[in-house]
Homo-oligomer: A and B are copies of this chain.
Amino acid sequence: MGQVSWKGLFLSLFDYKTEKYVIAKNKKVGILYRVVQLSILAYLVGWVFVVKKGYQDTDTSLQSSVITKLKGVAFTNTSELGERLWDVADYVIPPQGENVFFVMTNLIVTPNQRQTTCPESVNIPDALCYEDEDCPAGQAVVAGNGVKTGRCLKDRDSIRGSCEILAWCPVEKRSKPKKPLLGSAENFTVFIKNSIRFPKFKFSKMNVLATNNESYLKTCRYSTEHPYCPIFLLGNIVRWAGNDFQEMALEGGVIGIQIEWNCDLDKAPSECNPHYSFSRLDNKFAEKSVSSGYNFRFAKYYRDAEGIEYRTLFKAYGIRFDVMVNGKAGKFNIIPTVINIGSGLALMGAGAFFCDLVLLYLIKKSNFYRGKKYEEVNPPASLKSTVAVLIDVNHPVQESPEQDVCE
């Protein structure tokens, strides 16, 4: 018999076991279930497959390289600087043409600063003094420009003065032009060269179209009519981000240039194109607060004939542009397809569970269906008494309507 049972065991391995179903001829629940099934199917096909492209393997780890190049000159005529022409090497900081670049649009120049002593700016509360004792020597001025020397410098007749400091003198005066100095930066252009690569699919592309001839690339400007021209007018970028260039040029700010690559690699490579969008990244509503605008200080250092160092301090206001690239590529792959179909079907089980609840507990004849769905069996006292058990099951007294209530 051992041999027989082993063979039987082996053969029974290839018996197909399938759940036994009870057909409940209840149209309400039936229709409900079909509606649930159709909803899941619609979700699976419509959302998972069509909208989310669930049949694709995706790559979001984009490798991107951005090169930016500005073009444009501006002419200014001020009392401090005289007639002066500004070109790219003057107004772009840093000059390297990376994905973050700053265009100077306004500035406060403090020329010929030297390491010596001079009075601190009168606007700084900590430097306010009435006598020399208010200016302890060696103490740094809080939020100021230097270290106090111990003297209080006063104008004739006035009782209030400001401490003398050791600093880069003269100190910067706190007023900026009412009109942006380089307001004509509005007409500057920036050429943004963006190469991307999706390593998983070994797919590379550039935002500069290969089909374009060189003269087109030299004259085109990005707009809705020319969505693939990589040359942008600064004034347009700021306008598309919802701001006024002249206003922004005065105080400075940060503009984000998003480049979005959303590529369906099941289609032709020429269908994979960048989409540009522009937004202001710093909070423009905080206009009156200390946190408005964007500016920084830098200096150019010189040496005079005696080798003494002096510098010109610049407080530069301007617009920082952050080019941010992100993207996603998808390509058909069998594994996510199978997983999505599988989990969609698994969701059907949840739908069935919900309909079961309705059938078994909510409708009028739920007691009847409960009795049909659940077949109660009692274990035999021991294997010897199986016969008695069989009899037990044949008259399932426990399935009386009273007990159904207890379920």
Contact = CB atoms under 8 A, between A and B. Distances in A.
A144 B393 CA distance: 96
Contacts of A368: 377, 379-380, 383, 386, 389, 401, 404
Contacts of A87: 145-146, 167-168
Interface string A49-91: 0000000000001011101010111110000000111011110
Interface in A348-391: 348-350, 352-353, 355-356, 359, 365, 367-380, 383, 386, 389-390
Contacts of A401: 367-368, 371, 383, 386
Given A15-B30, A24-B15, A365-B379, A282 B67 contact: yes
A33 B17 CA distance: 9
A320 B95 CA distance: 13
A22 interface: yes
Nearest to A210: B286
A197 interface: yes
- Number of contact residues on A: which range applies? 35 or more
Given A23-B374, A95-B298, A368-B380, 20 more contacts: A5-B402, A6-B406, A14-B31, A16-B24, A17-B23, A19-B373, A23-B377, A25-B377, A85-B168, A87-B146, A89-B311, A89-B313, A94-B94, A97-B294, A195-B254, A343-B346, A343-B347, A367-B386, A368-B379, A376-B399
A345 interface: yes
A148 B286 CA distance: 40
B12 A16 contact: no
Contact of A403 (B47, B146, B305, B376): B376
A369 B375 contact: no
Given A9-B407, A23-B16, A396-B375, A350 B345 contact: yes
A297 interface: yes
Nearest to A206: B283
Contacts of A32: 16
A127 to B, nearest CB: 12
Interface stretch (A135-143, A155-163, A175-183, A266-274): A135-143
Contacts of A305: 304-305
A142 B83 CA distance: 20
Interface in A304-351: 304-305, 307, 311, 313, 320, 322, 324, 326, 335, 339, 341-343, 345-350
Work out how many copies of this chain go into the complex: 3
A339 B386 CA distance: 40
Given A16-B24, A204-B283, A399-B371, A406 B8 contact: yes
Interface centre among A34, A95, A146, A217 (most CB of B within 10 A): A95
Contacts of A8: 403, 405-406
A217 B291 contact: yes
Contacts of A282: 65, 67, 193, 195, 206
A34 B13 contact: yes
Contacts of A302: 301-303
15 contacts: A12-B403, A16-B29, A18-B369, A19-B20, A85-B166, A87-B167, A208-B291, A210-B289, A214-B290, A217-B290, A341-B350, A343-B346, A346-B346, A370-B404, A394-B396
B342 A346 contact: yes
B399 A286 contact: no
A281 interface: yes
Given A24-B15, A73-B146, A379 B373 contact: no
A280 B2 CA distance: 69
A75 B206 CA distance: 36
